[in-house]
């Protein structure tokens, strides 16, 4: 099993690593004293992500300046293990380290073992943590993956009495090939306090950390919000076995953020773009996301998972214009949502894809109205012809029809309830598109809301929805209305089955889609 590796503290080339790493080693080695009984440890489990047919990224975090040592094997006995070149975990990245594995075999189970070596005493190594993933298939085999978003929101944190972040344990039992995380991976704007008192007199009790007692403003506080989730046993066990394809949305920074966001009084930092920069750095440090050489820090990307599936991961935050009225009838900066460059990239990717299914991973739904004090937060601008941000969707849907691009499906989260929408041009105000499906799920572990008002511009029909209703908003996780989606693609036929499930693993609704051939 040939393996080529790349080290991934973001922005560090190998040459820069030798230059800056050596200086850092010299600066930190002298004052630090280690003992054999005090070994460096893996603090928050291991993760893999952005898996392809021939590679993946593995991630771990140490408790001190260390070298991350990774062994890779094709069996859980590690008899055929290969040791890979070590990489540094330094304070600059909060002791996180990512390693890019390359030249793997397609459709192969890969087991990896991570330990850290003390920088001050190189004979001292910590205990290993073990993870696994399967590379994408090279042939037409069955594929299974889960998706969802919205974690630790509205003050609902890790409650051991409720089983912790239980939905992750439920998803893990399906043994999916990967997990599409649709954003709101943290709630940087949502403090987690020791107790939440409910209207019925019950008390929800949270595991707490000092940094989550307030909104995140500093880099350390954004990092702590991510690390908080990994305190949960279910999340760590899931992450060690299921690769993540991760996006971000608003709560990684603050609610409904855009360049025009006016921060509430809880913030001492008044510059929302400064918060976004700190958040982006923490996000890339804390997830096994592949770095983009051309545009460091880029979130949007495509991931091919065999002949049947191409994933197009969108970023609907970094390039949007200000949240505002969004009533423009001609496309310009005020109506940017994906932005021209990302939209052009998506069109090229869809046109060039030879996969049976093209899944568009959108962190926000297309036609659900999400209000904002400034006017609008999402794509949808209300009933009628396309305007504002809807102009991008109209342009994209017209392109998909005329290209033509077959078998597109949209997966999303954000609104904290489960739904299935069928887009019918015969019932739309804008009709230049082929019918398609959008599936909505979440929260994975947050308050349950909805349903949202639907916009008729693109003709969505609600085929299923489960939401608490207007008189029962922000339900806690123990109410059971925590949702995830499960997608299965048959290798022999290419048929896609999409199911919406709750945290008890009850199948609420499903449909099977036959691909259009030719």
Which 3-state string (H, E, C) describes 56-119? EEEEEEECCCEEEEEEEECCCCCCCCEECCCEEECHHHCCEEEEEEECCCCCCEEEEEEEEEEC
Distance, CA of 44 to CA of 63 (rounded, Å): 9
In this structure, which topology does domain 4-134 adopt according to CATH? Immunoglobulin-like (2.60.40)
**pLDDT tens-place values along the chain, 518 residues long:** 444 444 443 333 322 322 233 333 333 333 344 454 589 999 999 999 999 999 999 999 999 999 999 999 999 999 999 999 999 999 999 999 999 999 999 999 999 999 999 998 989 999 999 999 999 999 999 999 999 999 999 999 999 999 999 999 999 999 999 999 999 999 999 999 999 999 999 999 999 999 999 999 999 999 999 999 999 999 999 999 999 999 999 999 999 999 999 999 999 999 999 999 999 999 999 999 999 999 999 999 999 999 999 999 999 999 999 999 999 999 999 999 999 999 999 999 999 999 999 999 999 999 999 999 999 999 999 999 999 999 999 999 999 999 999 999 999 999 999 999 999 999 999 999 999 999 999 999 999 999 999 999 999 999 999 999 899 999 999 999 999 999 999 999 999 999 999 999 999 999 999 999 87
CA 183 vs CA 52, 144, 230, 276, 356: distances in Å: 21, 20, 16, 15, 25
pTM for the whole structure: 0.93
Cβ count within 10 A of residue 192: 22
CA dihedral angle for residue 62, residue 63, residue 66, residue 72, rounded to 10 degrees: -20
Distance, CA of 297 to CA of 261 (rounded, Å): 22
Query: According to the 3-state scheme, what is the secondary structure of 327-341?
Result: CCCCCCHHHCCCCHH
Phi, psi of 134 (to 5 degrees): -120, 130
Contact in structure between 117 and 67 (CB atoms under 8 Å) = yes
The residue count of the chain comes to 518
Contacts of 173 (CB under 8 A, 6+ apart): 505
Distance, CA of 371 to CA of 123 (rounded, Å): 57
Helices and strands per DSSP (H, E), number in the chain: 7, 24
**H or E segment at 462?**
strand 460-466
CATH homologous superfamily of 143-513: Alkaline phosphatase D (PhoD) (3.60.21.70)
Residue-range domain boundaries for the chain: 4-134, 143-513
**H or E segment at 500?**
strand 496-502
CA dihedral angle for residue 94, residue 319, residue 298, residue 58, rounded to 10 degrees: 60
Contact in structure between 59 and 288 (CB atoms under 8 Å) = yes
Question: Which of 312, 339, 334 is CA-nearest to residue 321?
Answer: 334
> 4 - beta bridge partners?
102
Supply angle C-alpha 300, 306, 309, rounded to 5: 55
Question: Which of 103, 361, 147 is CA-nearest to residue 242?
Answer: 147
């Amino acid at each position: 099993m040939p393996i080529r590796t790349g080290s991934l503290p973001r922005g560090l080339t190998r040459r820069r690593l030798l230059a800056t790493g050596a200086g850092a080693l010299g600066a930190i080695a002298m004052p630090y004293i280690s003992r054999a009984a005090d070994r460096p440890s893996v603090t928050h489990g291991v993760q893999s992500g952005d898996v392809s047919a021939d590679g993946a990224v593995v991630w771990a975090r140490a408790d001190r300046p260390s070298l991350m040592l990774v062994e890779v094997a094709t069996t859980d006995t590690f008899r055929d293990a290969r040791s890979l070149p070590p990489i540094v975990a330094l304070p600059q990245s909060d002791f996180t380290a990512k390693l890019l594995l390359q030249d793997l075999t397609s459709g192969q189970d890969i087991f990896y073992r991570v330990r850290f070596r003390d920088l001050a005493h190189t004979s001292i190594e910590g205990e290993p943590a073990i993870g696994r993933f399967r590379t994408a298939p090279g042939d037409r085999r069955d594929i299974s993956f889960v998706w969802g978003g919205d974690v630790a929101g509205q003050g609902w944190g890790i409650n051991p009495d409720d089983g912790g972040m239980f939905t992750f344990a439920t998803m893990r039992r399906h043994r999916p090939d990967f997990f599409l995380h649709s954003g709101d991976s943290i709630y940087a704007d949502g403090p987690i306090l020791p107790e939440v008192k409910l209207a019925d007199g019950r008390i929800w009790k949270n595991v707490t950390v000092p940094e989550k007692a307030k909104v995140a403003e500093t880099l350390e506080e954004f990092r702590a919000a991510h690390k908080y989730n990994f305190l949960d046993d279910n999340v760590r066990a899931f992450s060690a076995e299921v690769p993540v394809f991760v996006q971000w949305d608003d709560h990684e920074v603050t609610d409904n953020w855009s360049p025009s966001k006016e921060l509430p009084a809880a913030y001492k930092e008044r510059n929302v773009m400064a918060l976004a920069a700190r958040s982006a750095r923490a996000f890339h440090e804390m997830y096994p996301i592949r770095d983009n050489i051309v545009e460091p820090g880029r979130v949007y990307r495509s991931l091919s998972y065999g002949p049947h599936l191409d994933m197009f991961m969108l970023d609907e935050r970094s390039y949007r214009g200000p949240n505002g009225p969004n009533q423009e009838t001609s496309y310009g900066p005020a109506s940017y949502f994906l932005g021209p460059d990302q939209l052009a990239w998506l069109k090229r990717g869809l046109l060039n894809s030879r996969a049976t299914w093209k899944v568009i991973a959108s962190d926000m739904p297309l036609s659900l109205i999400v209000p904002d004090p400034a006017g609008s937060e999402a794509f949808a601008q209300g009933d009628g012809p396309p305007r504002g941000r809807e102009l991008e969707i109209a342009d994209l849907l017209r392109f998909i029809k005329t290209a033509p691009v077959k078998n597109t499906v949209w997966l999303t989260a954000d609104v904290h309830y489960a739904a299935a929408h069928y887009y019918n041009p015969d019932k739309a105000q804008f009709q230049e598109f082929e019918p398609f499906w959008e599936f909505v799920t979440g929260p994975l572990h947050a308050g349950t809301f909805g349903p949202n008002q639907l916009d008729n511009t693109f003709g969505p029909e609600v085929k299923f929805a489960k939401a608490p209703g207007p008189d029962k908003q922000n339900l806690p996780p123990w109410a059971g209305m925590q949702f995830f989606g499960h997608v299965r693609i048959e290798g022999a036929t290419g048929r896609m089955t999409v199911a919406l499930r709750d945290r008890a693993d009850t199948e609420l609704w499903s449909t099977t889609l036959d691909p259009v051939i030719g």
